[in-house]
Amino acid sequence: MSADLTAGKGRCHGTALLLVRPVQAAIELGAGGDVVAKVLNAVHHANRHGNEDDFVAVALPGMQMTRIGMVAGHDVTMFGSEESLAAVLNLDGIKLLQRRGMVRDLVTEEAWCDAGSTGSAWVRDRTCEKYTAGWLRRSQARAARRGKPLGKLSPTRGFPTDLLTLTYGTTPVHLREVIGTVSGVPLMVSTYGFSSPGAAAVLPVQSLMAERRNADAA
Amino acid sequence: MAKKAPSDLSFETGMLAFARSLQITEGLFFGLSHEDDQTVRVPIEIREKGVRGQTSQDNAKDKAGLSNPQSVEFAVVPQGCHAISLEFSLRVLPMSRQPHACDNTDVGSAYRRLAAAYDAAQGYDVLAALYVWNIANGRFAWRNRFQADTMSVMVAFDGRTITFDPLSLGFDEMPDRDTMVAAITAGDASDYDALVSGIARGLAEAAFSMKVSWVANMESGQEVFPSQEYVRSEKADDALSRVLAKLPTTWRGRTVLQASMHSQKIGAALRHIDVWHDTDGYGAIAVNPYGGVQETSAVLRAPGTKKSFYDLRKNAEAVLTTIEGATAPSDIPGEIHFLMANLVRGGVLGKSSKGSDA
DSSP string, A69-131: EEE--S-EEEEE-HHHHHHHHTSHHHHHHHHTT-B----EEE----TT-EEEEEEE--GGGSS
Q: Do B54 and A134 touch (CB under 8 A)?
A: no
Check pLDDT > 80 for residue A174: yes
Q: Do B225 and A30 touch (CB under 8 A)?
A: yes
Long-range contacts made by residues B227-233, C-beta under 8 angstroms, separation at least 24?
B227/B260, B227/B261, B227/B262, B227/B265
CA of B293: which chain A residue's CA is closest? A28
What is the amino acid identity at position B152? S
**Chain A residues whose beta carbon lies within 8 Å of the beta carbon of residue B296:** 27-28
CATH classification code of A10-124+180-208: 3.30.70
pLDDT of residue B8: 66
Q: Rounded mean pLDDT of chain B?
A: 90
pLDDT tens for B255-298 read 999 999 999 999 999 999 999 999 988 899 999 999 998 877 88
Tell me which of B313 and B52 has the higher pLDDT: B313
Hey, is B128 helix, strand or coil? helix
Closest CB to A158 among B64, B167, B170: B64
pLDDT of residue B81: 95
pLDDT of residue B357: 45
Q: Do B139 and A29 touch (CB under 8 A)?
A: yes
Q: Looking at the complex, report in whole angstroms how far the Cα of residue B278 sits from the nearest Cα belonging to chain A.
A: 15
Contact of A156 with chain B, judged by CB distance below 8 Å, is answered with: yes
**Chain B residues whose beta carbon lies within 8 Å of the beta carbon of residue A67:** 58
User: How many other CB atoms sit within 10 Å of the CB of residue B115?
Assistant: 24
pLDDT tens for A130-164 read 877 778 888 889 999 999 887 777 766 666 778 89
- Stretch A176-188: mean pLDDT: 90
**Chain A residues whose beta carbon lies within 8 Å of the beta carbon of residue B282:** 24
Q: Do B146 and A26 touch (CB under 8 A)?
A: yes
* Helix ranges restricted to H, B143-252: 177-182, 189-204
Which of B52, B56, B224, B297 would you mutate first to test chain A, the one with the most A CBs within 10 A?
B56
**Chain B residues whose beta carbon lies within 8 Å of the beta carbon of residue A32:** 295
Check pLDDT > 50 for residue B93: yes
The pLDDT confidence band at residue B72, using thresholds 50, 70 and 90, is confident
Check pLDDT > 50 for residue B2: no
> How far are the Cα atoms of B50, B71, B262, B277 from residue B240, in angstroms, in the given order?
9, 5, 20, 40
User: How many other CB atoms sit within 10 Å of the CB of residue A28?
Assistant: 25
Any idea where the domains of chain A sit in the sequence? 10-124+180-208
**Residue B214 and residue B166 in contact, taking contact as beta carbons nearer than 8 Å:** yes
pTM for this predicted structure: 0.83
Check pLDDT > 90 for residue B37: no
pLDDT of residue A3: 61
Q: Do B66 and A156 touch (CB under 8 A)?
A: yes
**Chain A residues whose beta carbon lies within 8 Å of the beta carbon of residue B67:** 132-134
Which of A27, A28, A36 would you mutate first to test chain B, the one with the most B CBs within 10 A?
A28
Integer Cα distance of B79 and B89 in angstroms: 27
Burial track A58-95 (b if 16+ CB lie within 10 A, e otherwise): bbbbbbbeeeebbbbbbbbbbbbbeebbebbbebebbe
Tell me which of B82 and B237 has the higher pLDDT: B82
Contact of A37 with chain B, judged by CB distance below 8 Å, is answered with: no
Q: Looking at the complex, report in whole angstroms how far the Cα of residue A98 sits from the nearest Cα belonging to chain B.
A: 11
Check pLDDT > 60 for residue B195: yes
Q: Do B59 and A161 touch (CB under 8 A)?
A: yes
**Residue B335 and residue B312 in contact, taking contact as beta carbons nearer than 8 Å:** yes
A186-190, B1-5, B27-31, B116-120, range with the lowest pLDDT: B1-5
H or E segment and range at residue A56: none
CA B44, distance to chain mean position in Å, is 23
- Stretch B317-333: mean pLDDT: 95
**Chain B residues whose beta carbon lies within 8 Å of the beta carbon of residue A25:** 139, 170-172, 283
- Stretch B61-79: mean pLDDT: 77
User: How many other CB atoms sit within 10 Å of the CB of residue A34?
Assistant: 19
pLDDT of residue B142: 96
Q: Nearest-CA neighbor of B181 among B172, B171, B168?
A: B168
Q: Do A31 and B146 touch (CB under 8 A)?
A: yes
**Chain B residues whose beta carbon lies within 8 Å of the beta carbon of residue A29:** 139, 142-143, 145-146, 171, 269, 295
pLDDT tens for A15-53 read 999 999 999 899 989 999 999 999 999 999 999 999 999
Integer Cα distance of A18 and A86 in angstroms: 10
The answer to whether ipTM exceeds 0.85 is no
Contact of A162 with chain B, judged by CB distance below 8 Å, is answered with: no
